[in-house]
């Protein structure tokens, strides 16, 4: 069985930095190592000790690069790759002007395959090794992304996006076809290699109560699956939901009433929550996903990280293409900026946790990815902390690892990604 030893700086989280003082949540080795064997992390520790213990293993010395778990993007729309950074719309206009016309093209299997490959190339170049993505209503869009992820040995989660109202005819299914297509795709892909199927109603405005109930029934039949949707992204969206569901207590209740609230649920955005919604989400330990570049780009609002992260799982996500970058570094920077606007700036440890272990926990994959420790799958990223002159001159003044890595979080891009490993195989660098 092939093995390799990576040497560099290492940063391993030992606790949740939202529940302990952030600097105490991780162990930093200025000269550490990661032993990879059979696609998994076999050992971590001090570099010289690992070399002595495994003298026969080939060494890849990354110098001063910082070795971390690969980034985990907990909410994305890969079919929106081509419309990223489109100008000037809020949510509903964004969907009608950009998203729906582009998503209508994904019934073409060849086009879906082309975009899936391009999307995974882009995120991998930025150090992302796991993605949880929405597809379109077309089964072809799911097959394309799953097949491409499988070929790359990626840990990938995705599902058919279901809509049976308030969308163009070319993007509508029905309650029955949403159930049937999702079940067929689930049976084909869920648990294959490193793939997971995610039951995916887009959001309540584009699903009738009958469709929500059908997908709730499917989730009850397959409770090991994740379920992803959107929640309370914008105030006008919340008002629309209230009009469409006059009997609901709040936005969350439109899901809860139809069997779509649970611990394996992923609720994107969750900005404008009522006290009842916050309490109920915490009670069931559902996961929220923070999408900061999207929330600012589309003008949605400020996520309450300080109030929510200590009490329930929170992941971090690009939300491509409403989000304006494929980079989790840029997404971490935006999360810091949103925190500043909210009066609660995030520590670098919290930002890195959200992009790795936090998102892995939100996806119920924390036992497999997101941490730098023996037994975990060897999805890794190595960051050059001096990738540009501007970053290098600031990092050169650092007094600790947090000051050293923060300039890369705030100013880094794909040039900072010195290496990427998926299931132990190097795919960049």
Residue-range domain boundaries for the chain: 3-69+371-428, 71-362
**Cα 107 to Cα 103: distance, rounded to the nearest angstrom:** 8
The whole-number pLDDT of residue 238 equals 97
**pLDDT digits 0-9 by tens, 48-95:** 999 999 999 999 999 999 999 999 999 999 999 999 998 877 878 888
The whole-number pLDDT of residue 29 equals 98
DSSP output for 223-287: TTSEEEEEES--HHHHHHHHHH-TT-SSHHHHHHTTT--STTEEEEE--S--HHHHHHHHHHTPE
Q: Which of 208, 231, 220, 210 is nearest to 259 (CA)?
A: 220
Is-contact 60 268, C-beta < 8 A? no
Could you tell me the CA-to-CA distances from 312 to 7, 12, 18, 257 in Å, in that order?
35, 22, 10, 21
Size (the chain), residues: 429
**Cα 394 to Cα 373: distance, rounded to the nearest angstrom:** 30
**Cα 139 to Cα 159: distance, rounded to the nearest angstrom:** 9
**pLDDT digits 0-9 by tens, 16-35:** 999 999 999 999 999 999 99
E-only strand ranges, 113-177: 128-134, 155-159, 161-162
Is-contact 40 377, C-beta < 8 A? yes
The whole-number pLDDT of residue 94 equals 84
| Residue owning tokens 């799982």 | 313
| DSSP H/E element including 86 | none
Kindly give, in sequence order, each residue whose CB lies less than 8 Å from that of residue 125, ignoring residues fewer than 6 positions away: 326, 414, 417, 420, 428
Gyration radius of the chain's alpha carbons? 21
Could you tell me the CA-to-CA distances from 317 to 266, 289, 404 in Å, in that order?
12, 7, 23
> For residue 423, is it left (φ>0), alpha (ψ between -120 and 50) or beta?
left
In the three-class reduction of DSSP (H, G, I as helix; E, B as strand; rest coil), residue 128 is classed as strand
Is-contact 119 422, C-beta < 8 A? no
Which fold, 3-69+371-428?
Answer: Urease, subunit C; domain 1 (2.30.40)
* Domain 71-362 bears CATH identifier 3.20.20.140: yes
Q: Which of 64, 78, 138, 96 is nearest to 386 (CA)?
A: 64
Task: Please classify residue 71 by burial: count the beta carbons closer than 10 Å to its beta carbon, then call 0-12 exposed, 13-18 middle and 19+ buried.
Answer: buried
For each of the chain's 429 residues, which pLDDT tens digit applies? 589 999 999 999 999 999 999 999 999 999 999 999 999 999 999 999 999 999 999 999 999 999 999 999 999 999 999 999 988 778 788 888 999 999 999 999 999 999 999 999 999 999 999 999 999 999 999 999 999 999 999 999 999 999 999 999 999 999 999 999 999 999 999 999 999 999 999 999 999 999 999 999 999 999 999 999 999 999 999 999 999 999 999 999 999 999 999 999 999 999 999 999 999 999 999 999 999 999 999 899 999 999 999 999 999 999 999 999 999 999 999 999 999 999 999 999 999 999 999 999 999 999 999 999 999 999 999 999 999 999 999 999 999 999 999 999 999 999 999 999 999 999 998
């Amino acid at each position: 069985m092939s093995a390799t030893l990576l040497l560099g700086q290492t940063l391993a989280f030992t606790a949740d930095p939202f529940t302990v003082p952030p600097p105490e949540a991780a162990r930093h080795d200025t000269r550490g190592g990661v032993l990879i064997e059979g696609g998994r992390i076999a050992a971590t520790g001090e570099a010289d000790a690992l070399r002595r213990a495994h003298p026969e293993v080939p060494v890849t010395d990354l110098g001063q690069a910082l070795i971390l778990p690969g980034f985990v993007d907990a909410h994305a729309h890969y079919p929106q790759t081509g419309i990223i950074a489109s100008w000037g719309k809020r949510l509903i206009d964004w969907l009608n002007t950009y998203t729906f016309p582009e998503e209508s093209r994904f019934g073409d299997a060849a086009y879906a395959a082309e975009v899936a490959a391009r999307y995974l190339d882009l995120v991998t170049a930025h150090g992302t090794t796991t993605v949880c993505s929405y597809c379109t209503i077309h089964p072809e869009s799911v097959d394309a992304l799953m097949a491409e992820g499988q070929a790359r040995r990626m840990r990938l989660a995705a599902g058919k996006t279901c809509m049976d109202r308030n969308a163009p005819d070319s993007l509508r299914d029905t309650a029955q076809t949403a159930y049937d297509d999702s079940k067929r795709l689930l049976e084909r892909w869920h648990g294959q290699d490193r793939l997971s199927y995610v039951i995916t109603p887009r959001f309540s405005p584009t699903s009738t109560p009958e469709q929500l109930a059908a997908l709730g029934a499917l989730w009850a039949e397959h409770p090991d699956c994740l379920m992803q949707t959107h929640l309370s992204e914008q105030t006008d969206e919340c008002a629309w939901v209230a009009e469409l569901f006059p009997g609901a207590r709040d936005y969350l209740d439109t899901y809860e009433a139809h069997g779509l609230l649970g611990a394996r649920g992923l609720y994107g955005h969750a900005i404008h929550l009522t006290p009842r919604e916050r309490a109920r989400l915490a009670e069931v330990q559902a996961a929220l996903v923070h999408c900061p570049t999207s929330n600012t780009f589309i003008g949605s609002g400020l996520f309450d990280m300080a109030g929510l992260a200590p009490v329930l799982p929170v992941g971090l996500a690009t939300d491509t293409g409403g989000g304006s970058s494929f980079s989790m570094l840029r997404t971490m920077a935006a999360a810091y900026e949103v925190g500043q606007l909210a009066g609660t700036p995030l520590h670098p440890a919290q930002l890195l946790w959200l992009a790795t272990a936090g998102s892995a926990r939100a996806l119920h994959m924390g036992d497999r990815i997101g941490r730098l420790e023996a037994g975990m799958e060897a999805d890794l990223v190595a960051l050059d902390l001096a990738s540009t002159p501007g970053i290098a001159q600031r990092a050169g003044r650092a007094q600790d690892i947090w000051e050293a890595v923060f300039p890369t979080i705030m100013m880094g891009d794909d040039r900072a990604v010195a290496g990427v490993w998926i299931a132990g195989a190097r795919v960049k660098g």
